[in-house]
Structures are given as structure tokens and as C-alpha cells.
Structure 1
Amino acid sequence: MKRAVLVLIIALIFSAVITAPDGFAIFLVLGCFTLPFATLIINLSEADSKEKELLWSLFLYALAVRAIFGAVAYALRFWDYLAPDAYTYTEFGAILADHFRGTITITKTGSPFFYSRFFEFSGSGWGMYYIVASLYFFIGKNTVAGNFFVASIATGAVPVVYLLAKEIYKNRRVALIASLLVGFMPGFINWSSFIMKDGIIIFLLALSILMVVRLQKQFNLLYLTLLFISVVGIISLRFYIFPMLAIGIIASFLIGVKETDTTISTFRRVAVLLILGTALTYAGVLGRIASDLERYGTLEMLNNSRLDQVKSAASGIDVGGDVSTVEGVVTVLPLGFLYLILAPLPWQVTSLRSALTQPEMLLWWFMIPFVIKGIAYSIRHRLRETLAILIFTLMLTVGYSIFQGNIGTAYRQRTQMQVFYFVFFAVGWVLTKEKKENEMAIRRLRQIKLRAGLAEKNI
């Protein structure tokens, strides 16, 4: 852990110097937010101090990589090329912070555009403005600090995925491999190093599933609170994910993690669902979700969105079909699924960004058979524990396969499923390695017995 601390300090000093003077604000973010946040997440571990040291090391190393990557990209002025939405979030977040400070006033009649963005709490991504504004309110507009602030939250996915994998599979190797992939896969580094919502969504998804698994075993107010915060955060960043996540959570709670449940455990799970549902209803979240789905979730609207993605970018992909009809959905699904899982393919490289993904894609394609093996094992042996993950990833994969019309967006949004696919990969990889290790051990044992038998004959 000491080495990880040293690496982070060096990374932050380097990042601050090359982005000075704005860069020195990252130390303020580190002390006031990053370290308390990481302490909360890592203390979710129920193991000994040795495991917590490992989690700290994973978090600090992953954060150091993101700090350097974000700072270098900013210093060389290509951060908005790698993360095009980041500029919008930093500008809008600064405007919202100015409103809260009283520097400007945003009203429905005077500033209808910004009012609808900030205060109607509708559509996708409005929560990101508040996340950025919560920082800029105190320190003013500072993109370098904003990048590090978001990176700190997103890096929380690394220890959370470790805890989730270990909670389900009781295997340290599986947990470590999954967390390393989340921490150091290039795509995950890119989307979590800037003021983008993707890294935060990944963290919230992993945290919500971890809390679901924990709450099925015991009622805990902290776990319930973190689940509520995770769900609200997901809704505020990408509202259409929530129904898929909700179905997975409800199914998981209804079935439970044990085949022989007691009345008390069943009552506890139902109580958690009722409390969570009541809290979301009271907060007005479910009503807004229903309104957004009615407004944006029709097949016709989704088809128009897909066609717009196809036409508006060089990386648009047209898989044919009209997904405003059920027949069109069925037609588009197979090819859309292949693009979602495999793209960008070599012949689809149309820019520097897509070219930079190719080494990572080679690794991802290699991983897919092990992902399938891990899923198969989970269905056979860990179905109850992984039901929420399986339902969510299946539904989101199908949804994106149908309505995705852009290779770049597919590559980016695939991370929301990959965070769980990495867990399944780790399972498949460890199963394969352990099988080979067992075969080698049996072979050695046979050789030892054979030698012993020959020695007896010679005697």
C-alpha cells in the first residue's frame, strides 16, 4: 500500500505541474472528497485489514492512472476529443454553480433552455450537471479538478467490483481479476478520466448490485441508503437503465439467495423492496421515470434516435430494419448484437479514436469465450446470487443491440455491461486455470505413484 500511495503522490504532482495553476486544486479534491469517499467504499469490506490494504492499493493505482491520463489529455488540449460530452458538462455545471451562488439567476421565462435542463429533472444526464456544480460551487470552474473529481467517483468501481465478485463466488482470484480489468482496461480508463457520466454509472451499477446481494443476507440501513442513492443516481444520469435494473433487483429479492429461506428472511427482503419503492415514490422519482418513458421510450422515438445516430456520424452503423415495429426489432437484433459486442471491427476504423481501440478490442475478443463459460457456470451454480446481474445485463444488451446506431456510442455504452462481463470472464478464466492446475497435479501424482511402484519392483 505504501508503494501505491507513493505512486499516487507522484502522479498528482506530475498532473498538477503540467496543468498549473488549475491542476493544484486536485489536492483539495483529494483531501476533501477522494480520501473520505474511498474510505467509505473500502470499509464496506467485511474481511481483515490485509484485504482492505489490497483494496486501497487497487484504488490508488487506478486513480493514479486516471489522474495522469486526464491531465496529459487536458494539457495537450485533446481531452474534449477523447470525451466530447465533457465540455458540455463542465460548462453547464459551471452555470448551475453560478446560479446556486447567486451570481446569475435562471428562471423558466428568462432562461427556458437552462431551466429545462437543470430543474425539470427529465431526460438523460441532468444529474451530471449537479455533480459538477457541487464541486464548482466551492472552487469555481476548474476542469482539471472536475476531471479528477469524477475520476475519484468512477474509480470507486474498482474496490466495489472486487467486493461484489468475492461476495458471490467466494474466490479471491476471481475478485482480483475482475477488479483489475475494471481498473486498467483502456476504455474504462478513458471514460472515467474526464467529466463524463459513464464512469459514474459503472460505479453506481456495481454498487447497487453489491448492496442488493448484501441486503438479501441481512438488513442494514447503510446498505439500503447506498442502494437508494445508487438507484437515484442512475436515474439522473441514464434514466432508461432503471427499469431493467429494477426488474433484476425485484426478481433477485423475490427469489432470494438461499433455497431454504425462513419466513424472517422472506419478510426482510419484501420489507426492503417496500421501503425502497416508497422512498423512490416519495422522492417523485418513479413518477418522473414513467413520464420520461412515455415521452422518450416509444418504439417510434427510439427508432428516430437510432436513425439519427446512423446519419449524424461517420461511425454510424445501419443494420437495416425499422425498430418502430416488433417485426423490425426481431430483424435488427442479431446483427445489432454482433455490432454491440464486437465493434469497432478493423474495417470500421474511421478515425484516430476508433484506431486507438483496436488493441483493447483484440483483448476483449479473446475474453468472450471465457465470459460465456463464466455465465454458464453462474447459471448452473450461482443463479440466485447472480440473477440481478444476469437479468440486467441481458436486458441492457438486447436493448442496446436494437437501438444502437453508432459504433462509437456502442463502444462507450458497452462498458455498462462489461463491468459485469468482466466478473464472468474472471470466473471462466479461473475455472480454466484451476482445471489445468488440477490436471497437472493428478499427472504429477500418477508419476509419483509410478516411480514408487518401479522402485518397489527393483527392491
Structure 2
Amino acid sequence: MEILLVAVIALALFVTVLFAAPRINVVRCLAVLVPAFALRLAVHITVTRVDAIGYGGDNLGYEAIARTIVQLWQQNGISFVTVDELSAVRVPLPCNLFALIMYACGGSAPLACTAFVAFVACATCIILYRTALALGAPDRMAFWLLTVSAFLPSFVLHTSDMYKDGFNAFLVIACVATAVCCAKRPGVARLLPAVPLLWALWYVRSYMVFLCIPPLLIGMFRPVKLVSMRAIACIAMTGTAAALLISEKGGDGVAGSLHAQLALAQSETVHQALLVGGSGVALDDDSIASFALRLVYTVFAPFPWESGTLALQLGKIDALIWYILAVLATIGARRLWKRDRTSFWVLLAFIVPSVVAYSISFANIGLVFRQRIPIVLAASLFAPLARISRGSADFTPDPAAERGEGERTGASLRLGICPTAAGRRASAGTSRAGTGSSLTRR
């Protein structure tokens, strides 16, 4: 039954690519995602299950919790089990999904669970591809991003077993993609997918919900005429940082949950536990210099000169790829700033607060190595734009970004990346009218 379920999930991947990928690139996407899917299953069998590199462990914990949930279902019927019913269920959504797969297979099914996680990872890559196209990246560069993200070592490792990181990355990137979609064409209907995404994210990593709300708000309202987008983005990011820095009053509900998570992350017990294993970093004081060092470690660790476990050494390959992506993302961010500032602030409104939040509780390179996966994927959306030059056909500057030009007439001059057919006709008509006037004057 487990092998049959793996085959069904593989078929679901094929159908997803068939309907989600651009039609002209279905074969190319399958040529990348099918090997990426198979690679994760191979890593599951040869690396994570046999503990070949001495990394992880929480995947086995989630598997044990899922088995317990199956036992509860056999006694009381199938229902969504949360921490209220079972105190060990700290991450309800992945554990319940794993339990559902086990329930269908009639027992432990690590390969089928891993196949589902691999499917979610491939779906994340498709979302990255489509979002890069929406931002205006050339198809060749957007496909390059899909390929790099599909085989990014940290992403492969943490989606090759029953980890929660694949679900977290998928939900976060889907929220960011929804925000970009709203920034391109505002509308309440385009924001509706964010509701189930945020609900699901709450049951994976609840604090990420607070980090995904600012880009959604910016993408939805984009009040460029009333207040500058820079001010809106700064307010959103400052509000998120303030929410994450609640330290005196816990209370109940959302604020209490946020306070409890922050207190746990900053507790001395957790920091001492994270120092064990060879990849811990002791930063005791709370000075600005210490925070700056935490920030550097959060973004760039592990460094080439560091010693540690085999997993840490392999992580240097992932870090090298991230350095290249970061350089390209910096160039691409400048391009996006000139052509579409709303989308620029949408991405930055997630990246900056996330980096700050993880820097606050940084104590272990191995932990931040997996925590920053959504940050790396979100920042990499800038990278495909690095190959767009001002003289290329793909470059469409944002009129609001041009100094002194003010608001232009003509919807075709104010559109984003993908003008509608009506916009193209209006633009062509304006061009013909201008040519005719010029000939008349002559």
C-alpha cells in the first residue's frame, strides 16, 4: 500500500506541473522536478533514515507523534488533533498529515510521508517559478530559479524526511506569491487564498503568520497616492518587529502565544541545548555589536573556515550557493526598485523582519541553517531580475519610480509586468496617434 501511495503522489506531481506550469515549459519543468522528487526519496533511504551525517532527529519525533495520533483515531475517529487533545503535538498540521498517510497505509509509512513532503517541495518550486515570471523575470531566468531551488542542498535535506520545513517553506512562499499577485492586480478575491494559507501556517510555525501579514497588507492596499510606499513598508516592518519583541506582558490568545514562543527561544535552557553538537555559537551579551554579529551569522553562516560536524561541512556548499544568489538578488532588487516598487516592498516586508526575528534568538548554525530556508527562497525571487537591463524588452520602468515625472496618463504606462490585451491595444493606439500628429506637424 505504501508503494502504491508513493506512485499516486508522483502522479499528482505530474498533474500539478501539467496544470500549474506554463504550457510551453511543461516538459522542461518535469525534467527538473521529477529528478528532484526522486532525489529526495533517495536521500531519505540512504542518508536521513540511516543517520549517515548525524543530523536531525525531530523527523523521528514527528513520526512517533503521528503514530500516536493514528492510535487516537482508531479509538475516537478521525479528527484534527491539536495540542489541546495531545500535549506532544506542537506542530499539528504536519503530524496530522503524516498520521493520515499512516492511517491509509495501515501502519508506519515513512517513504510515503517523505514522498508527500517531496511533492510539497516541488510545488514550492513551481510557485517560485510563476512568481518570478509575475515579477517580470525572463522565462529563462525564472526557469533557472526553479532548477536551483529544486536542488538547493538545505532544501533537499529538509524535505527528504518527515520534517516540517517543507510545509513551512511552501506556505510562506505561497503567502508571498499571493501578496505579489495582489500588488500586480489589487482585489479582495486575490487575497482570499491567504486565509487558508495563514491558518495552515499557524499550525506549522505560528510566529511566521506575523511575518507574512505585512507583505499581504502592502500588496492589498498599496496606498501610493496617500502615503509613500516606503513609509508604509517601514510601518509594517516596525510593527512586526514590535510584535516579535513583546517581552513584558504575555496575556492570552495570539499575544500570549507570541510571547511564549519568544520567551522559549530566548531562554537559557534552549540556548545551552543549542550550543551542543559542534555548531553552537556563544553570544552572551545583548549589545548592538552582539546583535550585529548574530545578524551576520543568521544571514551568512556557516563560514568556510569553521569546523564542526559533517552536516556543517556540507552546509558550506549550500552557503556558497546562497552567496551567489544573494549577489544576484541585490542586483535584481535594484532592477525591481526601478520598475515596480510595490512588489519590491512586498518582498522586503517579509525578508527584513524574518532576518531580525531569527537573529534575536540565534545560538546554533545548524538551526538557523534550516530556519532561513524561506528567507533564502523569498530573497532568491530578486535574483532572476538581475539579467534584465534597461535596454532590454523585458524592462518596464514603474512611472512612480521616475523622479519628477509624477503620475502619467494612460493605463498602459502604469501597468506592471504583464499588460492586458486592452492595455496593449491602448498603448498601440497612443503610439499611432502620436506618430500621426508628428506627420501632420511635418
Query: TM-score normalized by structure 2?
Result: 0.73
Could you say which residue in structure 2 is the equivalent of 1:135? Answer: 101
Q: Distance in 1 between matches of 2:48 and 2:133?
A: 36
Aligned residue identity for 2:7: L
In the other structure, the counterpart of 1:150 is 117
**CA offset digits 1:99-141 (Å, max 9, x no partner):** 11228999x9xxx9972234xxxxx523221121121121121
Matched residue, 1:35: 11
Could you tell me whether the CA contact under 8 Å between 1:98 and 1:137 is conserved in 2? no
Q: 1:243 to 1:218 in 2, by over 3 A?
A: closer
The Cα of 1:87 is off from its aligned counterpart by 0.5
Contact 1:161 1:179 (C-alpha < 8 Å) held by counterparts: yes
Deviation track 1:141-171 (CA, whole Å, cap 9, x = no partner) reads 1112211121111221111100011011242
Unpaired segments of 5 or more residues in structure 1?
1-23, 119-123, 262-286, 323-327, 436-459
Q: Does 1:65 align with 2:39?
A: yes
Aligned counterparts of 1:55 and 1:230: Cα–Cα separation in 2: 24
Kept in 2, the 8 Å contact 1:58–1:159? The answer is no
Q: How many Å separate the matches in 1 of 2:96 and 2:14?
A: 21
CA spacing shift, 1:99–1:188, aligned 2, 3 Å: same
Pick closer, same or farther for the CA change 1:294–1:413 going to 2, 3 Å. Answer: closer
In structure 2, C-alpha distance between the alignment counterparts of 1:126 and 1:162, rounded to whole Å: 29
- Shift in Å, 1:402: 2.2
Instruction: Please report how far the alpha carbon of residue 183 of structure 1 lies from its aligned counterpart in structure 2 after TM superposition.
Output: 0.3
Q: Which residue of 1 aligns with 2:64?
A: 91
SS of match in other structure, 2:2: helix
1:117 aligned to which of 57, 81, 88: 88
Q: How does 1:299-318 map to 2 (within 5 A)?
A: 302-304=266-268, 307-318=271-282
Q: 1:37 to 1:224 in 2, by over 3 A?
A: farther
Alignment size in residue pairs: 363
- Superposition deviation, residue 173 in structure 1: 2.4
Q: Which aligned pairs between 1:267-346 and structure 2 lie closer than 5 A?
A: 288-298=253-263, 302-304=266-268, 307-322=271-286, 328=287, 330-346=288-304
Equivalents in 1 of 2:347, 2:192: separation in Å? 20
* Letter aligned with residue 39 of structure 1: V
TM-score normalised by the chain length of structure 1: 0.70
Answer yes or no: is the 8 Å Cα contact 1:252–1:388 preserved in 2: yes
Work out the CA distance in 1 between the residues paired with 2:390 and 2:59: 41
Counterparts of 2:102 and 2:12 in 1: how far apart (Å)? 19
Task: Please say if residues 155 and 192 of structure 1, whose CA atoms lie closer than 8 Å, have aligned partners that are also in contact.
Answer: no
Aligned counterpart for 1:193 among listed residues 149, 160, 163: 160
The one-letter code of the counterpart of 1:136 is: M
Is the 8 Å Cα contact of residues 294 and 360 (structure 2) preserved in structure 1? yes
CA–CA distance in structure 1, aligned partners of residues 103 and 267 of structure 2 = 39
Equivalent residue runs for 1:33-432 within 5 Å: 33-36=9-12, 39-40=15-16, 43-45=19-21, 47=22, 49-73=23-47, 77-78=50-51, 81-102=54-75, 115-118=86-89, 125-139=91-105, 140-216=107-183, 217=185, 224=191, 226-255=193-222, 288-298=253-263, 302-304=266-268, 307-322=271-286, 328=287, 330-428=288-386, 430-431=387-388
C-alpha distance in 2 between matches for 1:218 and 1:165: 18
Q: Secondary structure of the residue that 1:350 maps to in structure 2?
A: coil
Q: CA deviation at 1:353?
A: 0.9
Letter in 2 for 1:137: Y
Over 3 Å counting, the alpha-carbon distance change for 1:292 and 1:37 in structure 2 is farther
Structure 2 distance, partners of 1:372, 1:315, is: 28
Structure 1's 173 and 219: CA in aligned 2 closer, same or farther, altered over 3 A?
same
Instruction: Return closer, same or farther for 1:305/1:59 CA change in 2, 3 Å cut-off.
Output: farther
- Specify whether residues 210 and 366 from structure 1 end up closer, same or farther in structure 2 by C-alpha distance, changes over 3 A only: closer
**In 1, Cα distance between equivalents of 2:265 and 2:316:** 32
Q: What residue identity is the alignment partner of 2:86?
A: Y
Alpha-carbon distance in 2 for matches of 1:98, 1:104: 9
Whole-angstrom distance in 2 between the partners of 1:398 and 1:383 = 22
Going from structure 1 to structure 2, the CA distance change for 1:394 and 1:243 (only over 3 Å counts) comes to same
- Pairwise mapping of residues 6-45 of structure 1 onto structure 2 (< 5 A)? 25-31=2-8, 33-36=9-12, 39-40=15-16, 43-45=19-21
The question of whether the paired residues in 1 share the 8 Å contact of 2:172 and 2:208 is answered with no
Question: How many Å apart are 1:194 and its aligned residue?
Answer: 1.0
Tell me how far 1:392 sits from its aligned partner. Answer: 0.6
CA distance change for structure 1 residues 397 and 99 in 2, over 3 Å: closer, same or farther? same
Q: Is the 8 A contact 1:67 1:148 kept in 2?
A: yes
Distance 2:117 2:76 in 1: 24
Letter in 1 for 2:282: D
Sort the Cα spacing of 1:143 and 1:425 in 2 relative to 1 into closer, same or farther, 3 A. same
Question: Alpha carbons of 1:93 and 1:207: their partners in 2 closer, same or farther (altered >3 Å)?
Answer: same
The alpha-carbon deviation at position 235 of structure 1 amounts to 1.4
1:70–1:79 Cα contact (<8 Å) kept: no
Q: 1:359 to 1:141 in 2, by over 3 A?
A: same
Measure, in 2, the Cα distance between the counterparts of 1:301 and 1:186. Answer: 26
Supply the distance in 2 between the matched residues of 1:194 and 1:434 (Cα, whole angstroms).
46
Gaps of 5+ in 2: 227-251, 393-442
Does structure 2 retain, via aligned residues, the 8 Å contact 1:333–1:398? no
CA distance in 2 between counterparts of 1:220 and 1:62 reads 35
2:437 corresponds to which residue?
none
Write the distance in 2 (CA, Å) between the matches of 1:309 and 1:387. 37
**Going by fraction, where is helix more abundant, 1 or 2?**
1
SS of 1:116's equivalent in the other structure is coil
